Amino acid sequence: MSPEPPAEEMRKVFSRPASLNEEKFTYCPGCHHGIINRLIGEAIDELELKEETVGTAPVGCSVFLYRWFDIDVVQPAHGRVSAVATGIKRANPELTVFAYQGDGDFTSIGTGNSVHAANRGENITVFFVNNTLYGMTGGEMAPTTLLGQKTSTTPEGRNSKDFGYPLKMSEMLATLEGPTYITRQAVYDVPHIKKAKEAIKKGFRYQLQGKGYSLIELLSACPTNWGLDPVQANRHVKEKVEQVFPLGDIVDRSEER
């Protein structure tokens, strides 16, 4: 008797989404960008959007979306992703357009572009990856940095007197009438990954239905710049980051749109 099961029972149950290509991610071990990229890829596959989707990539660790996604990708200037996604979608409304932005991109240098794309209710889907600092340039403070958090530009920890408070962009944008759907999700364990994927798909679906602007904020770990191992970094998201940036839907106006 062979220990191998018969060939007809062999079945591939897990593979790379068709929307991602064979290129390996360059993310650090324990970074959540890879999980998020994959979830977006799975969502594009499952909604059968691969041939009509255009992604827009930020500047930072995820700048290489065009290497990893097997779809059309535009890689514009730091902070300008929401404006560029607006231009693409307005020029060709038949496309499904997503913006992939980090916290420095979305809430600091590109704040104005982000706010106004949301306020116009642009019919795009924005993925806002919040890891509470600038990952690629060496772990500097971002608007989202937690109070007391040590970064390379707040060596004593962020204090509100000099540097203000963690910017809650999703809550801010939820005060506007423009956005249709704003949610904050995490990907540090399987239940949360499943919820995050549903939120990502919902964001795409609302765009397909012409319901307007969706923002899916995704809390992400940055073990390298946090000085933690991947397990500790996951715990940090759950125990610390979530306290400041609570998970869940912040607004869903899809019924009215």
State the residues that interact with another protein by CB under 8 A. 50-54, 56, 63, 66, 69-77, 80, 83-96, 112-113, 115-116
CB contact at 8 A, 124 and 117: yes
- Smallest distance from the beta carbon of 177 to another protein, in angstroms? 16
- Smallest distance from the beta carbon of 243 to another protein, in angstroms? 32
List of E strands, 149-196:
181-186
* Rounded distance between C-alpha atoms, residue 142 and residue 130, angstroms: 10
Residue 244 tokens read as 């400041």
- Judged by CB, which is closer to another protein: 99, or 247? 99
- Judged by CB, which is closer to another protein: 20, or 146? 20
- Judged by CB, which is closer to another protein: 52, or 171? 52
- Smallest distance from the beta carbon of 58 to another protein, in angstroms? 12
Query: Could you tell me which residues are beta bridge partners of residue 182?
Result: 215, 251
* Rounded distance between C-alpha atoms, residue 202 and residue 200, angstroms: 5
- Judged by CB, which is closer to another protein: 54, or 147? 54
Q: What is the H or E stretch that residue 102 is in?
A: strand 96-102
- Smallest distance from the beta carbon of 28 to another protein, in angstroms? 18
CA distances from 148 to 158, 164, 165, 218, 227 (A): 5, 11, 10, 21, 15
- Judged by CB, which is closer to another protein: 53, or 132? 53
- Smallest distance from the beta carbon of 78 to another protein, in angstroms? 9
The length of the chain in residues reads: 257
